[in-house]
Chains A and B, each alone.
Chain A
């Protein structure tokens, strides 16, 4: 038993956890027709539930999932699992129907029913059931109220509200101007842009995966992995000092943390060229810009050559269909999104701190 717990604690570390989540999503998307069959889904859902319930026997696990404010996150986990199943099940049925030349599940768009009673009644029933659910929840679980606010006593860990914990997790890898300002801003811009950059006319108004593989995969990568999984991670697996703690591990205030960071400029100047960091400016160019030039060039190449390479390798047809502006916006958003896992992997593997570190301007990436 302890051995199993140790093992699970170990695979819940940031790197394996994220890799496992990505693999799980990938498998789900690759095998969605098989995995959403009721029997398979029941085994998966039941298995996870059983695992979760058994885990609740562990005092450390129980302490963190039963915390009043964390209960909604547990609900969200199950809800998102269920609704992903529900939608991909319908997508699988529709995709099979399309292949067989049969009508979609949502077909018959001319069959109209009256709002009173058909819609009004089902709205009313949903409303009653949900009220009952919310009332029971409110009776069973008290809203938390801790000690009065005290600006001199900071709790450890100090966590943002749960729905922002994905962003707080990003703070491990990026400076606040990125994790707290630019990335959230780009998430909003990116969401608003979706309808204008997705020019695929198919899959409008019905569940399908086959006809929209790229769009759906990207959206789920963002929503499920980079948003929801990171929230779950930040809530359940980050403890004092924002240190990692396995699900069955005690939140020890004094867990030591390894802090050995590598800067990209050190890798380049010292590691690659075997020289000291440049300390002299050249004419109007200050020394720190010369020091960071390799990092700037690398990022520049990522955002300038990236779109071109992607276009040649993968997006030839897509780019032609989308036109220059749409393609550029789409690929920029995609590259920003990919920068997150890239930076995470660089941190885990070579402990990279900043790619570009112009600390003189607080401009660090």
Chain B
């Protein structure tokens, strides 16, 4: 008996994988069914659906990049403190002193790549008409995922606390000032008043809510950090579960009827 088969037939292996080596139809089906990760997939799929020229694997790559971001992001959190005193120098130190200091590169380029792959995924879903019934709702879930992915990237952009970060977020968040009714420079804001006292000003408008202040300062850094590392990832994870579940429930990857 070879070592390999000794391991595969032992009790430990058998307790983890409750099926034999996936060699025939039954064990291959079991391999997917009895594994919590693989069972995101159905047991069998349409042949055309898995051709690379059909899906470009773009949804899969987007998901993979999301996982890369989580792993590298958690590692980055070990080195990074979201305060104005430390943030920049933690990033600098990470670059200078940490072995395998590729973390930040992987995290940043992964984020850029994820935006590109999610756009391409949307393009492919559109061009194959895969948003048509019965998949309308999953397309909408996808759009929310797209918005959240952009917000993830946007909130992360601030964290290195360098000039690039601060001013990109300043440009972006200045828009909130112009929100109709809710921003202090937005149309209609002047009408929100009680007895001639305006209620919407720089100290309490939409931009203030976003930045927790009237400028991109320490409060904004903390707020963006929490949104970036905790809140948005959790929401994305939940919506991804819905998204994948619906891909299956809507009849798997689309194909001609």
CB proximity to A under 8 Å, residues B121-169: 123-124, 126-133, 135-136, 139-140, 143, 146-147, 150, 153-154, 157, 160-168
Q: Is the pair A86, B56 in contact by a Cβ cutoff of 8 Å?
A: yes
Q: Does A326 contact B (CB under 8 A)?
A: no
Which residues of A are found within 8 Å of B47, using beta-carbon distances? 108, 111-113
Q: Is the pair A109, B46 in contact by a Cβ cutoff of 8 Å?
A: yes
Stretch in B6-14, B88-96, B233-241 touching the partner: B88-96
| Interface majority SS (helix, strand, loop, mixed), chain B | helix
Q: Is the pair A181, B176 in contact by a Cβ cutoff of 8 Å?
A: yes
Q: Does A115 contact B (CB under 8 A)?
A: yes
Q: Is the pair B183, A177 in contact by a Cβ cutoff of 8 Å?
A: yes
Q: Does B230 contact A (CB under 8 A)?
A: no
Give CA–CA (A195, B167) in the complex, Å: 37
Write the nearest CB–CB distance from B64 to chain A, whole angstroms: 6
Q: Is the pair B68, A134 in contact by a Cβ cutoff of 8 Å?
A: yes
Write the nearest CB–CB distance from B209 to chain A, whole angstroms: 14
Q: Is the pair A149, B162 in contact by a Cβ cutoff of 8 Å?
A: yes
Which residues of B are found within 8 Å of A195, using beta-carbon distances? 131-133, 135-136, 139-140
User: Which of B57, B135, B167 touches A155 (beta carbons < 8 Å)?
Assistant: B167
Q: How many residues of chain B get a CB closer than 8 Å to chain A's CBs?
A: 98
Write the nearest CB–CB distance from B96 to chain A, whole angstroms: 11
Q: Does B31 contact A (CB under 8 A)?
A: yes
Q: Closest A residue to B42 by CB, please name it.
A: A115
User: Which of B43, B52, B150, B255 touches A106 (beta carbons < 8 Å)?
Assistant: B255
Known contacts A139-B102, A141-B105, A143-B105; 7 additional CB pairs below 8 A are: A111-B47, A161-B168, A176-B185, A181-B175, A192-B140, A206-B129, A361-B187
B residues with CB within 8 A of A: 22, 25, 28-29, 31-32, 38, 41-48, 50, 52-54, 56-57, 60-61, 64, 68, 84, 88, 91-92, 95, 102, 104-110, 112-113, 115-116, 119-120, 123-124, 126-133, 135-136, 139-140, 143, 146-147, 150, 153-154, 157, 160-168, 170-172, 174-180, 183, 185-190, 215-217, 254-257
A residues with CB within 8 A of B: 69, 72, 75-76, 79-80, 83, 86-87, 90-91, 104-120, 122-123, 126-127, 130-131, 134-135, 137-139, 141-151, 153-155, 158-164, 167-168, 175-177, 179-182, 188, 191-192, 194-196, 198, 200-208, 212, 216, 219, 223, 358, 361-364
